[in-house]
Amino acid sequence: GILQHPDGTVLKQLQPPPRGPREQEFYNKVYDSDCCDSILLELREYLPKYFGVWSPPTAPNDTYLKLEDVTRKFNKPCIMDVKIGQKSYDPYASAEKIQQQVSKYPLMEEIGFLVLGMRVYHVSSDSYETQNQHYGRSLTKETVKDGISKFFHSGYCLRKDVVAASIQKVEKILEWFEGQTQLNFYASSLLFVYEGSCPATTVRLSDVTLAEKRRVPKGLLAGGDVLEYNNNINVINSTENGKIEASVSKGLSKFYALHKKACPKRHHSQLSLKVENSEQDNVWKTSTCITQEHLNGNVLPQLEKVFYHVPAETKESANVEVRMIDFAHVFPSNTKDEGYIYGLKNLITVLQNILDN
């Protein structure tokens, strides 16, 4: 699971040997202050920032990797975790381990990637749709395109701007892999994050935005504690003696966990603030100036006001992050990582098909 540090970073507990130490060694190598390897320096662009290791004062033997929270800047982050490569086991895996991994998703070698989960914000219902790893394993060659396109649908429309931006980001990572022969990655993932809230919901409305219309629910705890929600992390900040307690939602086993529970949770910056449905409906009606009698043969221009009344720069470049995560199975090499490259190319093809169709 993942904990949230009060400074806004996230804490990933080190896995048992050899996986944990191997992942720590990978981060240390890439983020070494004396590093002058251009390949590794460029790789930093595609990883969460690394801030060393951390241990809680009450449990000094527990070690955590201290990492950038890639979701932090988003209001309604939509998150997808995609494992990349033709093999989800490393070269040193036992026959039993290989059989176990292959049986989980026999199509991995042919498709080259596996959707481990996703969490998508639907503007229409102000709620999240969640899919776990069983959803990804149910996808076939014929259904994988539609399966991934779910991640880019807002409930109103397909976010083609996000698909296009995602393709560009993945292509940059592919370029890096095509140019390096020193590392091979197994069972590693790409984390996709984009802003799910429609820009139209934050346009100025009599100088009052949705954010200003939100109210604080029963989020305050006894003694001045504030119950704070992140998408995958529950954090209780206690004002008493400066003590901090952090708890992880049950069932969260994947980095930036993909929310096995379907109940929506608000982003940490909102302190569980919630828009009442009646208020939200009213804001939508007022801000778009569309009533039933106005939808009379002039639908397209009206809808354009809803979805495209945003600054030009917003339309041109969607707010999207694509980062590589999970490095417990990274090994030195002297050849290109053909399995990972195969997976990236297939994923780009699927994304391009979603965009074109």
For residues 133, 136, 137, 138, the Cα torsion angle rounded to the nearest 10 degrees is 120
For residue 8, give its domain range: 1-69
Q: What pLDDT sits at residue 199? A: 61
Q: Which of 24, 40, 69 is the last residue of a domain?
A: 69
* Single pTM value for the model: 0.71
Q: Which of 69, 98, 121 is the last residue of a domain?
A: 69
Give yes or no for residue 349 having a pLDDT over 60.
yes
Give yes or no for residue 25 having a pLDDT over 50.
yes
Query: What pLDDT digit, counting tens, does each position of 308-318 carry?
Result: 333 333 344 68
Q: Is 322 left (phi over 0), alpha (psi -120 to 50) or beta?
A: beta
- Of the candidates 230, 211, 206, the one whose C-alpha atom is nearest the C-alpha of residue 280 is 211
Q: What pLDDT sits at residue 318? A: 82
Q: How many domains does the chain have?
A: 2
Q: What pLDDT sits at residue 254? A: 42
Residue-averaged pLDDT of the chain: 77
**Mean pLDDT throughout 270-289?**
36
Show the tokens assigned to 141. Answer: 């060659």
124 neighbors 155 (Cβ within 8 angstroms): yes
Distance, in Å, from the CA atom of 155 to the CA atom of 170, rounded to the nearest integer, reads 24
Give yes or no for residue 245 having a pLDDT over 70.
no
Range with the lowest mean pLDDT among 88-92, 117-121, 123-127, 220-224? 220-224
CATH of residue 134's domain is 3.30.470.160
87 and 42 within one domain: no
Give yes or no for residue 304 having a pLDDT over 50.
no
User: How many helices, marked H, and strands, marked E, lie in the chain?
Assistant: 12, 14
Which phi and psi angles does 187 have, rounded to 5°? 55, 30
Show the tokens assigned to 152. Answer: 């880019």
**Mean pLDDT throughout 29-47?**
98
Say if 40 falls within a structural domain: yes
Q: Which of 20, 43, 69 is the last residue of a domain?
A: 69
Distance, in Å, from the CA atom of 27 to the CA atom of 65, rounded to the nearest integer, reads 9
Give yes or no for residue 62 having a pLDDT over 90.
yes
176 and 105 within one domain: yes
83 neighbors 114 (Cβ within 8 angstroms): yes
Show the tokens assigned to 245. Answer: 């307690």
